[in-house]
């Protein structure tokens, strides 16, 4: 006859084995909340980008719902960044302390780095995790400097809209650089105050269903 | 340009899973070694306490009068398998971050035979031989010495003699369940049933062997 201890051990192991067998591994919560198909749908939507002009307006109007997230390393962040930005180096993006900031429905997070590369990666990762309200600064800091801080005067033959935008950028440049500048003809001076139109979110219209 | 550090994937999982501690960087290398040291002491203590430093106990599996070794190894493997499976399933530990080596079936098979012969002839496995040596058993010390000579000899002649054999029969990083195309849970269940049958079978064998008149330890 088998020893009682042997029988007990076998019974315990069998209980455990049936337990593991009964669990369906597919039911395990995956890391990514979005399926690849849903991600493609999200990627195709244009409203993941925030233009530099739009961002300048938000900052100048002290929009309290905007959180600027600088994804570059600490060193570059300390040298220069956007006003009010916080630094989350991309390697630390998924640290637990940032989860509440990234996964929320109240604020608008805008990712940026020198170009759009890191921001696009951060957007991809957070979107795949099912986080909402994360956006990419189009063109990154380089484009920010090019368009907002050092705007180029349009040609004389350019359409009026270009001049309006230029004047706004001159004003924004003065705002951010701290200098005084002639904003230009008074007829255009109301342009910077234009309310920000939020694009309506469309339902994902993919062909994956 | 490498944006992500090499363990970025692990960090991704870190938001979900808690372990394993060392691969995920929760604990450093020093603490890892210290914990390993104490687990090692516990392991050696258990081997000694359960009589595994006695060559007769280990050789008994092959002669059919003592199957404790077989039972212990089966129980340990199944306990670990069930434990890992459940920890992984309930999101406490990420099984993908655990190291296990790639499989090369030809050298593994040959090595298995060598190990088995060493087991029968010497009555130790590498772990128990060290325990035996440190509890003062001279055969254990000789066994450890032989193992060291083998290790050094293998290392010195690796390039010339063993390199091609070592790399033959590569199967990549596989586990048996995936290789057989069944789920991990089903494999654990099958293994446990096999263990239960083995436990019963060895009990019968042991009774038959030990009831013989000419049996002696």
Residue B108 has a pLDDT of 92
Residue B3 has a pLDDT of 46
Q: Given a cut of 60, is residue A181 above it in pLDDT?
A: no
Q: How many CB atoms lie within 10 A of CB A26?
A: 7
Residue in chain B closest to A25 (alpha carbons) equals: B89
B136: left (phi over 0), alpha (psi -120 to 50) or beta: left
Residue B109 has a pLDDT of 94
Q: Which chain A residues are Cβ-neighbours of B211 within 8 angstroms? A: none
For B104-148, how does the pLDDT look when each residue is reduced to its tens digit (9 = 90+)?
999 999 999 998 888 888 888 888 999 999 999 999 999 999 999
Task: Report the alpha-carbon distance of residue A168 to residue A193 in Å, rounded.
Answer: 9
Strand-pair category, A108-112 with A66-70: parallel
Q: Tell me the ipTM for this assembly.
A: 0.72
Can you give the residue ranges of every domain in chain A?
A: 43-143, 151-185
Single pTM value for the model: 0.55
Interface of B with A (CB under 8 A): 3-5, 8, 11-16, 71, 75, 78-79, 81-82, 85-86, 88-89, 91, 183-186, 188-189, 191-193, 195-196, 199-200, 203
The first and second tokens of residue A59, run together, are 């900052």
DSSP-derived 3-state class of residue A62: coil
Residue B37 has a pLDDT of 94
Q: Given a cut of 90, is residue A46 above it in pLDDT?
A: no
Could you tell me which CATH number the domain at A43-143 has? 3.40.250.10
Q: How many CB atoms lie within 10 A of CB A9?
A: 19
Which residues are bridge partners to A110 per DSSP?
Answer: A68, A135
Identify the residue with better confidence: A198 or B64: B64
Q: Which chain A residues are Cβ-neighbours of B183 within 8 angstroms? A: 21, 25
Q: Given a cut of 50, is residue A179 above it in pLDDT?
A: yes
Which residue of B7, B183, B194, B211 to mutate against A (max A Cβ within 10 Å)? Answer: B183
Residue in chain B closest to A18 (alpha carbons) equals: B189
User: Which residue, chain included where needed, has tokens 């029968």?
Assistant: B120
Residue A49 has a pLDDT of 85
pLDDT bracket for residue B49 (50, 70, 90): confident
């Amino acid at each position: 006859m088998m020893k009682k201890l042997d029988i007990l051990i076998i019974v315990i192991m069998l209980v455990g084995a049936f337990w593991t067998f009964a669990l369906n591994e597919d039911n395990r919560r995956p890391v990514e909340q979005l399926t690849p198909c849903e991600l493609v749908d999200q990627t195709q939507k244009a409203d993941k980008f925030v233009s530099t002009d739009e961002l300048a307006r938000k900052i100048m109007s002290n929009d309290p719902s905007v959180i600027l997230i600088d994804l570059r390393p600490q060193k570059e962040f300390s040298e220069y960044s956007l006003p009010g930005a916080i630094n989350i180096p991309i390697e630390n993006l998924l640290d637990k302390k940032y989860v509440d900031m990234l996964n929320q429905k109240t604020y608008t997070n805008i990712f940026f780095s020198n170009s759009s590369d890191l921001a696009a990666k951060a957007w991809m990762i957070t979107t795949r995790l099912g986080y909402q309200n994360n956006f990419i600064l189009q063109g990154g800091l380089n484009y920010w400097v090019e368009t907002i801080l050092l705007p180029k005067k349009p040609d004389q033959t350019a359409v009026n809209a270009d001049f309006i935008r230029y004047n706004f950028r001159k004003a924004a440049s003065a705002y951010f650089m701290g200098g005084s500048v002639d904003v230009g003809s008074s007829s255009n001076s109301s342009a910077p105050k234009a309310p920000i139109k939020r694009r309506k979110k469309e339902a994902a219209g993919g062909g994956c269903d | 340009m490498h944006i992500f550090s090499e363990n970025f994937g692990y960090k991704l999982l870190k938001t979900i899973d808690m372990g394993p501690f060392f691969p995920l960087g929760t604990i450093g290398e020093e603490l890892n070694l210290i914990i390993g040291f104490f687990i090692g002491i516990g392991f050696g203590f258990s081997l000694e306490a359960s009589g595994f430093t006695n060559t007769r106990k280990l050789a008994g599996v092959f002669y059919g009068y003592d199957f404790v070794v077989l039972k212990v190894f089966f129980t340990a493997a199944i306990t670990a398998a069930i434990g890992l499976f459940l920890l992984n399933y309930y999101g406490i530990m990420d099984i993908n971050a655990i190291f296990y080596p790639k499989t090369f079936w030809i050298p593994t098979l040959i090595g298995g035979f060598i190990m088995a012969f060493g087991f029968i002839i010497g009555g130790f496995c590498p772990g128990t031989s060290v325990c035996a040596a440190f509890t003062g058993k001279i055969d254990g010390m000789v066994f450890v010495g032989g193992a060291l000579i083998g290790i050094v000899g293998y290392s010195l002649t690796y390039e010339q003699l063993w390199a091609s054999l070592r790399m033959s029969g590569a199967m990549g990083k596989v586990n048996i369940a995936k290789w057989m195309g069944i789920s991990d849970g089903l494999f654990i269940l099958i293994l446990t049933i096999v263990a239960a049958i083995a436990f019963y079978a060895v009990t019968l064998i042991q009774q038959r062997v030990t009831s013989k008149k000419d049996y002696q330890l």
